[in-house]
Amino acid sequence: MAQQLGWKHHSLIQALMSRGPLDEKAFHEIFMGITGKNPVTHPQTFNDCLLKINKELAFVQFELRACRNQYDGKVYYGVINNVADEQSKLGTKYSVPQIAFYKGVTEQASQDTQLHIPAAFKSFSLSQKEKTLNDLIQDQWLCYTPDGKIGFGIRSFFDLRSWFRNNDVPSCDVCNEAGVKALTCPNEGCPVRLHDYCLKKKFSQRKGSRACPGCGTEWPRSQCQQEEDTNALGQSQVASADPIIRGKRRNVKAEAVEATQAPPRPERAKRLRSCKTEAVGTAENEAPPSNLRRTRRSGRI
């Protein structure tokens, strides 16, 4: 029989559940403050602690998990619920129209999108949509990408991980995680995808060939370098940078809100579909969820 969790384990769980997903640096600092051990210099202690926590959390279908933000490559830690049932759905703070709005922002535009939205969404005002968008970004369900557009937030990457796999979203050839935000092989007939940070990890230290692991096509050195430069900026730096980018974000936010209006006028439908695609920011590579889960107590939608 497994030993019960101590106060240190409970403190780590509570920190993640109350503050939401934490980046690796912040979580390591909390771990070091609680245990007195640095996870970098004591990786075995760190891993053993998380393993013990997950053995106990498994009884209630929870899991403490690490996940990468596919826009900047940073690692985050969070506690998620692995079961979506009727009881867990009662734990959401978002209303039915707000969840429909989330789906509208993340789904690619289609001719029949408006046919699947709840009736309550039709009375959802423009100001309510804008407030919902701000809340979703603040709660990390959505985020501003480094280029100033709107994409999946870290909570979405945590919660939709299983959905990506169950719906056959192509995985990254290096880390085997869903390639939601990934680069495709230069050879159009090759299905290989690589996250930009995985591409950097695989090729940046090599002086020789940058051959695709699938077809052998040489990966352009200039493209790899460009991706490395982009990652160096970091999402948090871009967030407070240039006023031009901030202005662009306001425009993107307005377009995202406008793109969910129902129904669009025929002469504007094509433009709104384009706006919605730009708001997601990764329309070619992202796989939109069709059944967003809402879960208990963990602050998930």
Annotate 152-215 with DSSP letters as a single string.
E-HHHHHHTHHHHHHTTPPBBTTT-SB-SS-EEPSSTT---EE-HHHHHHHHTT-SS--B-TTT
pLDDT at 31 over 90: yes
Lowest-pLDDT choice from 147-156, 175-184, 197-206: 197-206
Using alpha carbons, select from 4, 21, 30, 284 the residue that is nearest to residue 155.
21
104 compared with 205, residue with greater pLDDT:
104
pLDDT of residue 75 exceeding 50, the answer is yes
Q: Give the separation between CA 177 and CA 14, rounded to whole angstroms.
A: 27
Tokens of 15: 């920190």
Task: Express each pLDDT in 274-294 by its tens digit.
Answer: 444 444 444 344 444 444 444
Count of positions (residues) in the chain? 301
Interstrand relation of 62-68 and 193-194 (parallel, antiparallel or unpaired): unpaired
pLDDT (0 to 100) of residue 247 = 62
Q: Using DSSP, state whether 147 is helix, strand or coil.
A: coil
Q: Can you name the residues that pair with 67 across neighbouring β-strands?
A: 76
Distance of alpha carbon 260 from alpha carbon 263, whole angstroms: 8
| pLDDT of residue 299 exceeding 60 | no
270 three-class SS: helix
- Average pLDDT on 240-256 reads 58
What's the pLDDT band for 90 if we cut at 50, 70, 90? low
Cβ within 8 Å of residue 142, ≥6 positions away: 102, 105, 106, 133, 136, 150, 151, 152, 153, 156
State the pTM of this model: 0.69
Of the given ranges (113-117, 205-209, 256-260), which has the lowest mean pLDDT?
113-117
SS3 226: helix
Higher pLDDT, 117 or 128: 128
Task: Evaluate whether 76 touches 21 at the Cβ level (below 8 Å).
Answer: yes
CA distance 139 to 155: 8
| Confidence band, pLDDT 50/70/90 cuts, at residue 176 | confident
CA distance readout (Å), 247 to 128, 214, 244 = 21, 41, 5
Note the pLDDT of residue 34: 95
pLDDT at 160 (0 to 100): 86
pLDDT recorded at residue 77: 97
Would you give the end-to-end CA distance of the chain in angstroms? 34
- Output the pLDDT for position 124: 81
**Which tokens belong to 279?**
């708001």
Residue 95: Cβ within 10 Å count: 15
How much is the mean pLDDT over the chain? 75
Burial (CB count within 10 angstroms: exposed 0-12, middle 13-18, buried 19+), residue 147: middle
